[in-house]
Amino acid sequence: MEYDYDYIRSATSREAISQSGDYTMWRYRPFLPVEQDTALPPLAVGWTPLYSVPRLGEALGLSHLWIKDDGQNPTASLKDRASALAVAKAAEAGYDTVACSSTGNAASSLAGSAAAAGLKSYIFVPERAPMGKLTQLLIFGATVISVQGNYEQTFALSRDAIEKYGWYNRNAAINPYLMEGKKTVALEIAEQLGWQAPDYVALSVGDGCTIAGVWKGFRDLYAAGFISKLPRLISVQAEKTCPINRAVETGRPWEPMEENTLADSIAVGVPRNPDKAIAAIRESDGLTVEVSDQEILDAMALVGRTCGVFAEPAGAAGTAGLIKLCKMGKIPKDAAVVSIVTGNGLKDTANGMKAAEEPIRLPPDITLLEKALP
């Protein structure tokens, strides 16, 4: 999507946006591809907190670290930003039914945004989608097709069905508006830092739509003259499912890999947005890093313990990668770093329990308690 930045500059300013009483992603409406009279979907998506996290920073040896907690969106992931825009565009175009396939969060966010706007939704998910995400879909009244296959096969079935039935298509990399919605996380980070880009932004990567959106957001702000430098992106993937990072690292075309990580939201072996993601990482002079499932679980526990933020595995994977790069001495200690928590841990408590310590179990007896306390 291309914008007329001179027009944006004439229509709004940093000051005007900062004074906006709209604490949702729609405060950036001049940067978004909707018509003046488009009805906006009702859920309050965006304007999630950017926390300064000194204790986590200390653990990593960083003096300026922030967590952007996008798990606080209405359906508890960053995907709400894309789905809100998709639903606005679907309604604008006169559709009454939307559809997508998803590893889980795009699905629950679309179902939620559609329900709030009064649209019907058809959702295709691989059968391994965690129970929390599946429950959200059903509660939001979506017609849910749980596909006995992997994400790639689920995507193919949804594509055929959408073509056959003529629903509005919210599939990643098919719908160009999704990235525009996702970019609002970058606009918020910049505004929340006083209209500045940080030096680094770390996040996890599956299809590649989110990282491409983050880059687009910073580039739009830069092109409009709202920020004066661009950040370097840190692309974090799972070590056994890292087709995008591998392509960046080897300089060769990306190749499919297996879906092999407990971080279901980034278990994407055949990414849908590889070109834009790879371009974003390269253009930003970005870094790539791969993490094991254990490193993801450790990061979940560390972020929870030091920040009070509960991330789902893919939501903590960005921080896991950052931790690894810090240990390798790749990030300057005084750099300004933002790590995006892309989804909330309550969606997947089974993996949360793997990351956590056991409780102290005992009968209701104060003497036993005294013995048991560390």
Ligand X SMILES: *Cc1c(COP(=O)(O)O)cnc(C)c1O
Select from 40-48, 153-161, 202-210, 284-292 the region that touches ligand X (CB under 6 A).
Answer: 202-210
Please report how close the Cβ of residue 199 comes to ligand X at its closest, in angstroms: 21
Select from 15-23, 130-138, 206-214, 297-305 the region that touches ligand X (CB under 6 A).
Answer: 206-214
Please report how close the Cβ of residue 173 comes to ligand X at its closest, in angstroms: 9
Among 205, 287, 307, 325, binds ligand X (CB under 6 A): 205
Please report how close the Cβ of residue 283 comes to ligand X at its closest, in angstroms: 17
Of residues 24 and 109, the one with the C-beta less far from ligand X = 109
Of residues 4 and 127, the one with the C-beta less far from ligand X = 127
204 touches ligand X by CB under 6 A: yes
Select from 83-91, 114-122, 200-208, 326-334 the region that touches ligand X (CB under 6 A).
Answer: 200-208
Query: Which residue, judged by CB position, is nearest to ligand X in the bound state?
Result: 343
Please report how close the Cβ of residue 357 comes to ligand X at its closest, in angstroms: 24
CA distance 156 to 302: 37
315 touches ligand X by CB under 6 A: yes
Size of the site for ligand X (CB under 6 A): 19
278 touches ligand X by CB under 6 A: no
Site string for ligand X, 94-133 (x = CB under 6 A): -----------x----------------------------
State the residues that interact with ligand X by CB under 6 A: 77, 79, 105, 204-211, 265-266, 268, 312, 314-315, 342-343
